[in-house]
Amino acid sequence: MIAIPVESDIGKTMSTKLFGNAKFFALVDPKSKSHTIIPNEGCGNGIKTANYLLEQGASSALYGFLGDGPFHVMVRGGMEIYWLGKETMSLDAAISAALSESLLQVTPENANLYLDPGTAAGACECGCTHE
């Protein structure tokens, strides 16, 4: 399953910029191309969000802004992480990008170039240790 942070659970929703603060996630089945939108039970905390997505069976995640802590939780959990870009887009466009395999995969080797928590201070505020 591919996890995509989205703004809403109704209508033609858009991706959302802040990963840990996303109120909802679309879980996309890459085989059937169908999706289900679920509430983010970790909303407001990137580490809790990352753990929640792992519990939901996500094997990859897309993001616009993401801090070190949630990134490392997901990578350690076996997820692949892809940078969606800093602008929002329709869920349909995000799904198409994910399925086309055109998104940049973020790994521990290139994470320093693509991780940005998107906070005013420019630093992660989730309370993680960044280990």
pLDDT tens digits, residue range 59-91?
A: 999 999 999 999 999 999 999 999 998 889 999
pLDDT value at residue 128: 47
CA angle in degrees (0–180, nearest 5) for 110-112-115: 100
Percent of the chain with pLDDT strictly greater than 90: 75
Q: Which domains does the chain show, CATH number per domain?
A: 2-114 (3.30.420.130)
Which residues contact residue 72 at a Cβ distance below 8 angstroms, ignoring those fewer than 6 apart? 108, 128, 130, 131
pTM value > 0.75: yes
Mean pLDDT of 1-26: 92
Query: On the CB side of 70, how many CA atoms lie within 13 Å of its CA?
Result: 33
Find residue 35's DSSP bridge partners: 28
Predicted confidence (pLDDT) at residue 27 exceeds the cutoff of 90: yes
Residue that has been written with the tokens 């349909």 in this structure:
92
